[in-house]
Amino acid sequence: MSVVSDTALTVEQLDRRGTTSHEVYTAGFYEGDRDFSVRTLLGKATRGGADIGEVLATIAGVKPKDDAGWFAAWVALGDRIATIAATSAQGGHRVSAARAYLRAANYYAVAVNAIDGLDSTEQLLPTFRAHRAAWEGFLANTRWPVERVDIPYEGTSMPGWIFRPDASTAARPTLVMNLGSDEAITGVWSEGAEGALERGYNVLLFEGPGQQSMLFERGIPFRHDWEKVLTPVVDFLVARDDVDTDRITLYGVSQAGYWVPRALAFEHRFAAAIADGGVVDVARSWYQHIPHRILAAYLKGDKERFDKEMELAFHLPGTRAGRLAWAFRSRPYGVGGYSAALDEVAKYDLTEVAGRITTPLYVIDADGDQFFAGQPAELAALVPGSTHVRFTQADGASYHCQPLARELTEQRMFDWMDEQIR
């Protein structure tokens, strides 16, 4: 929801700023939110989720503030790599096909989120379905045994995929991976799923309310009481013969740093859990983008005035990006109107329930988190016996969910999790 403009930084521009090109890690690839998108993609390269040259060549061709060009560039790259994947699959080259489909799916996922910069959302479903087709291509060619499942949920179901480390159906420890607010399923594949498989875990990926297909195709919004989501997931797993029911574990990324501990306060069958990174109060990340004078009206309960002032503010020159971002980010909450959105987001607060958590919890806290700064430490202090781990800029592990330090993240969190379930 930032209204800061996005500006691509060339080597020459970095030099003119008094920053040399080798300092791009701290200077950034862009100014604004696009920098995080680039870092997140590059971080997936170690798991085959991106190719570094493809990413850097793509951003080099996008002009500053060109929202349509940013969207089009990722669609074009997704199309190109998906074509390579299909050709490899037709030739029987399954390893090449799987890896290319995975990259294509991640590039399309960037395009899906880039729609928040467009004047219309008409490209949302076509782009999401291209992403999903690439994901299906990956599933059809990957070396990992995988089963498509439907998890019962309040009269309907949630889509899921269970991966196993080999063809055996012996009972094993199983990791449930919970998406963040706008994370694609391919994102968490590269953020721990394959790493868990290599360590002998089954892995369950799923889309919950407000996430991906549940929102885009079925219109089912987020909910704050996430135990109503993860308890059905656990019920589903304990009925399976290939799951060691005493060693079901849980990982949540980004806003799932709220959903995971919220569920743990009520659902106690997980053997261990990871919040990457921890969140106590989601509303704070919204408040920081609202001018204090306008926010004060909402906090005082004058919602009519707040709504009017937000409407006026978002029609001032230079606020188009913020207006579009608000609309896109509030959509998963299932409400309309400015104060109504904040009312819903305000429910996402762990202050009163975090003390009920008894599951061992590993809380990741990265330097320079631009969304939930300070909240991981706050969450760890609220949860008895939790493990609070700092990730630092000196380790190359700064920014929200330390996107360029995923190997370090895997090593630390899985070493801890292995010890919890041993």
Q: What's the structural domain count of the chain?
A: 3
Residue 127, domain CATH: 1.20.1440.110
Domain end position, chosen among 345, 362, 377: 345
Which pLDDT does position 13 carry in this prediction? 52
Which pLDDT does position 2 carry in this prediction? 36
- Check whether residue 258 and residue 404 sit in a common domain: yes
**Distances from the Cα of 371 to the Cαs of 146, 164, 235, 287, in angstroms?**
34, 34, 33, 11
**Could you tell me the two tokens for 334?**
């299932």
CA nearest neighbour of 343 among 354, 351, 353, 333: 333
All residue ranges of the chain with pLDDT < 50 are 1-7, 9, 11, 14
Residue 148: what are its φ and ψ, rounded to 5°? -80, 130
Question: Can you give the pTM of this predicted structure?
Answer: 0.93
Which pLDDT does position 20 carry in this prediction? 61
Domain end position, chosen among 300, 322, 345: 345
- Check whether residue 264 and residue 362 sit in a common domain: yes
- Check whether residue 163 and residue 179 sit in a common domain: yes
Domain end position, chosen among 107, 135, 163: 135
- Check whether residue 261 and residue 399 sit in a common domain: yes
Which pLDDT does position 26 carry in this prediction? 83
Q: How many CB atoms lie within 10 A of CB 384?
A: 11
pLDDT in tens, 370-381: 999 999 999 999
Question: How far apart (Å, rounded) are the C-alpha atoms in residues 113 and 290?
Answer: 21
Q: Residue 335 falls within a domain, yes or no?
A: yes
Q: Which helix (H) or strand (E) holds 139?
A: helix 124-141
- Check whether residue 291 and residue 220 sit in a common domain: no
CA nearest neighbour of 395 among 410, 386, 408: 408
Residue 284: what are its φ and ψ, rounded to 5°? -60, -35
Residue 200, domain CATH: 3.40.50.1820
Side chain identity, residue 90: Q
Which residues have CB under 8 Å from 402's CB, separation 6+?
364, 366, 391, 408, 409
Domain that holds residue 232: 145-282+348-421
DSSP assignment string, 255-273 = THHHHHHHHHTT----SEE
Output the average pLDDT for the chain.
Answer: 93
pLDDT in tens, 32-56: 789 999 999 999 999 999 999 999 9
Which pLDDT does position 5 carry in this prediction? 36
Which pLDDT does position 389 carry in this prediction? 98
- Check whether residue 156 and residue 240 sit in a common domain: yes
